[in-house]
Structure 1
Amino acid sequence: MTAEKALLGCMMKENHLIGDTIIKAGHLADPRHQALFKQMRDRHQQGGTIDLVTLSTTVDLEPFGGISYLHDLQSFANVEKFAEYEELVLEKWKEREKRNILTVAKEEDWEIQKVIHALDQINEAKIDDHIAISTGLADLYEAPWQEENQIKGISTGMLRLDQMTNGFQDGELTVVAARPSMGKTDVMLHFAKQAGWNGDLPIIFSLEMPNKSLIQRLVASTGAINRLKLRNPYQHLTEAQKEQWPELIGRVSETNIQIFDGAGQTVAQMRAKVRKLMHEYPDKKPLVLIDYLTLIRPEHHYGGNAHMQVTEISKQLKGMAKEMNCPVLLLAQLNRAVEQRQNKRPMMSDIRESGSVEQDADVMIFLYRDAYYDQDADPKHLELIISKNRNGPIGTVFANYNQFTGGIRDAHD
């Protein structure tokens, strides 16, 4: 119950947390906390302030233990740890739900698949996710008489790709997949830089490569410097490159890219970190970039079943994009089946442990370079094959890629 007290205390101190939290009244165990949270949420939705004074004058505090109980709640509050409190409350709720499911399953002798499905639903449970048809129709009513403003997403930095996808859209999950050494990380960093320079907030979760390596790649690609030189800049950079170095560092700094390089993070942990940054940068639109799929730690082990683990993760990532109303870009590895075909351009079925990735992704982009298989091919030729585009056309976008600097730019197709 202490985590619930701390959660409510934080909300009293920082009212914006009431509207931002993913916690619902039903997640709280104490009926008093459920009732108080509903009162706070209702008042917040009406635009009112929530603190000791307003609650004591507008809410009957007798069921909650009076004004002293509110003081007690505030004494537990530590706003900086709000995400931890959320996670603790959710974990406790999941434990209670799990016990309930297992009790019923035992009494009714459920099949194992039914048990697994029910446990999965705990992670996806939503309470306030409905909309009345009248509300939706009201938003649409004026459409025939108003010129529609095209919903433009975060730019990819590639003109042709922007034309086909309209950029990275809020609430959408984009998957970029390829075999190793095709340029996935460099493409991701290109997207991140362009977003940052356009005033958005790129947030990278690098689950394999340390932040120092990513930063070196960002500097190399921005300055068109062979990244091998950055292993020892003092020795290998030319005098001209050293003269341009301060300006180059400043240019990369302008991207305002945020990097988390902790290994084995869960989607819930990533979501908490994104939410914290959204409050630090309220005027910037976040673009979440994750490198890569099978390095994300699932919340359930599923007896080591990788297919089910990936299915859980892809659903959670799509859920994060929708809940936080921002684009999420996910890198994924392809299996070796590609190598067995004469035409080695990837297909959706080539994603390792694809699970529900094909279903959950709004956009799927495969990277392909002929030079990876044919030494006589143009080494700079990079294909971005859009094989799924829920709200637009599919097709191939061509780019020029420098594998030594990591630089990417539009190619005229």
Structure 2
Amino acid sequence: MTDSIFTPPHNLEAEQSVLGSLLIDDDSSERVQKVLSILKPESFYSRAHQVIFEEMRQMYRENKPVDGLTLYDALESKGLASQVGGFAYLSELTKVMPSAANSVAYAISVREAAMERYGIQRMTEATELFYARNGMTAAQKYEAIQAIFTHMAEHGRTGIRRGARPFMEVMEDWVTELEGRFDPRQRARGLSTGIASLDEMLQPKGLVRGSLLVIGARPKMGKTTLYSQLAINCAISEDLPAVLFSLEMPDKQILERMVGQLSGCNTDIFYRGADNQSEFSHANARAMQMAESGNLFIDDTPGASLSHIFSESRRIKREKGKVGMVLVDYLTLMTAEKADRNDLAYGMITKGLKSLAKELDCVVVLLTQLNRDLEKRTNKRPLPSDSRDTGQIEQDCDYWLGIYREGAYDENANQSDTELLLRLNRHGNSGVVYCEQRNGSIYDTDQVAAENKRRELEEKPRNRKGGF
């Protein structure tokens, strides 16, 4: 056994070369900007190098010239010069640096060692968790360690660490994202839904990442239709992975429904045959489009628990590098933890799904059934308070969307007319979006004409039938 086994990974020569390159390279050099984007002060193993890099970075932010003398003066003014070896060490940095042209390669080497040290730190935390006698069950410890693995994978791709971060570091990430929002080549804004009028209502933010979207409705209103349509839009239009947890329908039925939605074909053709071969060919082409995107994942595990959804979603995030949406159909079919009341048990699930959205930086879509009591009202349009078995939903969700079809209660009404009622939107506007459901798909419609039609119908006596 030698002492080197216990020495954390580091490369002092590469650290010196990076700092030396920054001292002699031109301030406006593309290499300098690249190095500053790759590294953070904590990327350096040497404490002296951390102090030097932090001061240099601050000088670059303030557009001050950076060389040995100006850097020394800046450190001296803060009483830090002696901690880093004084002017002599700063001068030495420019001599040991082989070539400023290779500064980016040196920075990557420094970052690689820093990532390995971070991995060792997090794995140590995982080991300590197993030894700890803190009241957690073994299953809970496994789940916590899975979260650690997810954070490590994210750190490997982005360099972002979890935990308390300095305001300046958070602001740097925010500025980078802000620039991306105005770049048409990037997708730094929130996600779209694929329904133009709903997307317009959600503008300019869209469905904000890290949010929980709850879709509530009575049976046969179109919850699963909207659920699968959101997934298709995420996978095809947004080019982001969508993970569907279907606790009600088998995976093959979900797939069949999605093929029908994307192709515009009535799924009856998969049972009675198509009137012409081109219809089958078109449906098959759309099925292959979804398959080849590599962005759609379906899990039909019966009674899936929250921990199962966490585990599978994290796995997809590690494998694909990102997740756009996690969709769950539906809340009361999930296996809940034991609690005194159902509302408390399901409240734990909604809190957990909100946490998952934040952890994976995605949108979590949760379907929920509504209480039958709403059908006793004159106006049967759903409200967040109608959610079955939980009063926690209103507190946890960022968006609450109800679905209403007049045709479910009035046999004389147009059976395709549908209202999407955005009752709650913590990030922007709320309101009603009118659309049509045909052949298992949702289509946008003229909003002004649909609103006028609704007003005309409400003025006429209606022949209602019993609800579901």
Task: Give the letter for the 2:419 counterpart.
Answer: E
- 2:266 aligned to which of 226, 238, 261: 226
Contact residue 265 and residue 283 of structure 2 kept, 8 A? no
Change (3 A) 1:362 1:208: same
1:343 to 375, 379, 390: 379
Aligned to 2:326, the other structure's residue is in SS state strand
Matches within 5 A, 1:9-408: 47-49=111-113, 96-97=134-135, 129-133=163-167, 135=169, 149=182, 152-165=189-202, 166-198=205-237, 199-230=239-270, 232=271, 235-240=272-277, 241-254=279-292, 256-282=295-321, 284-298=322-336, 300-303=337-340, 305-402=341-438, 405-408=439-442
| 8 Å Cα contact 2:245/2:329 also seen in 1 | yes
Equivalent pair of 2:218/2:370 in contact (CA under 8 Å): yes
Post-superposition offset of 1:246:
3.3
Q: Tell me if structure 1 keeps the 8 A contact 2:323–2:360.
A: no
**Which 5+ residue runs of structure 2 have no aligned equivalent?**
1-8, 10-42, 46-107, 138-146, 148-160, 448-468
* Residue 296 of structure 1: how far off its partner (Å): 2.0
The residue identity in structure 1 corresponding to 2:206 is G
Q: Is the 8 A contact 2:404 2:419 kept in 1?
A: yes
Supply the AA of the counterpart residue of 2:405: R
- Residue of structure 1 in register with 2:68 after alignment: none
Inter-partner Cα distance in structure 1 for 2:133 and 2:304: 20
- For the Cα contact (< 8 Å) 1:161–1:167, is it kept in 2? no
The offset of 1:279, in angstroms, is 2.5
Alpha-carbon shift at residue 281 of structure 1 (Å): 1.7
Name the aligned partner's letter for residue 200 of structure 1: L
Percent identity over the alignment is 29
For the structure 1 residues 356 and 142, does the alpha-carbon distance in structure 2 shift closer, same or farther, using more than 3 Å as the test?
same
For residues 252 and 176 of structure 2, what CA distance do their matches in structure 1 show? 51
Q: Deviations over 1:196-224 (max 9, x none)?
A: 11211111011121101101111222233
Q: TM-score, normalised by structure 1?
A: 0.66
> Is 1:411 matched up with 2:445?
yes
Contact 1:173 1:362 in 2 (8 A): yes
Shift of 1:135: 4.9
The secondary structure found in structure 2 opposite 1:130 is: coil
| Cα distance change, pair 354–93 in 1 and its aligned pair in 2 (3 A) | farther
The whole-number CA distance in structure 1 between the counterparts of 2:179 and 2:230 is: 33
- The Cα shift of 1:133 comes to 4.7
Whether the aligned pair in 2 keeps the contact of 1:310 and 1:355 (CA below 8 Å) is no
Q: Displacement, 1:140?
A: 7.5
Distance 1:147 1:329 in 2: 25
Q: Distance in 2 between matches of 1:236 and 1:297?
A: 38
Provide the secondary structure at the position in 2 that maps to 1:354: coil
- Alignment CA distance shift 1:365-1:247 (3 Å): same
Count how many residue pairs are aligned between Structure 1 and Structure 2: 310
Structure 1 residue 97, shift from structure 2 partner: 2.6
C-alpha separation in 2, matches of 1:139 and 1:244: 43
Calculate the aligned-residue CA RMSD, in Å.
Answer: 3.8
Code of the residue aligned with 1:265 in structure 2: it is A
Does the C-alpha gap of structure 1 residues 254 and 178 become closer, same or farther in structure 2, counting only changes over 3 Å? farther
- What do residues 357-378 of structure 1 show as CA deviations (whole Å, max 9, x unaligned)? 1011001100001111111111
1:95-117 CA distance string (max 9 Å, x none): 73369xxxxxxxxxxxxxxxxxx
Distance 1:289-1:42 versus aligned 2 partners, 3 A rule: farther
One-letter amino acid of the structure 2 residue matched with residue 193 of structure 1: I
Unaligned runs of 5+ in 1: 1-11, 13-40, 60-69, 74-85, 100-123
Task: State the shift of 1:353 in Å.
Answer: 1.5
CA contact (8 A) 1:201 1:286 kept: yes
Which letter does structure 2 place at the counterpart of 1:274? S
Q: 1:48 to 1:249 in 2, by over 3 A?
A: closer
The residue aligned with 1:8 is: none
- CA deviations 1:88-142 (Å, max 9, x no partner) are 997x68973369xxxxxxxxxxxxxxxxxxxxxxxx9xx9643445555677899
Question: CA separation in 1, counterparts of 2:168 and 2:235?
Answer: 38
SS at match of 1:97: coil
> Deviation digits for residues 180-238 of structure 1, max 9, x if unmatched?
000000111111111111211111011121101101111222233333342x2xx4322
- Tell me, in whole angstroms, the C-alpha distance in 1 between the residues paired with 2:181 and 2:282: 45
- Residues of 2 paired with 1:94 and 1:388: CA distance? 42
Q: Deviations over 1:36-86 (max 9, x none)?
A: xxxxx9979x734389xx88xxx9xxxxxxxxxx9xx9xxxxxxxxxxxx8
Residues 190 and 148 of structure 1: CA distance in aligned 2, closer, same or farther (over 3 Å)? closer
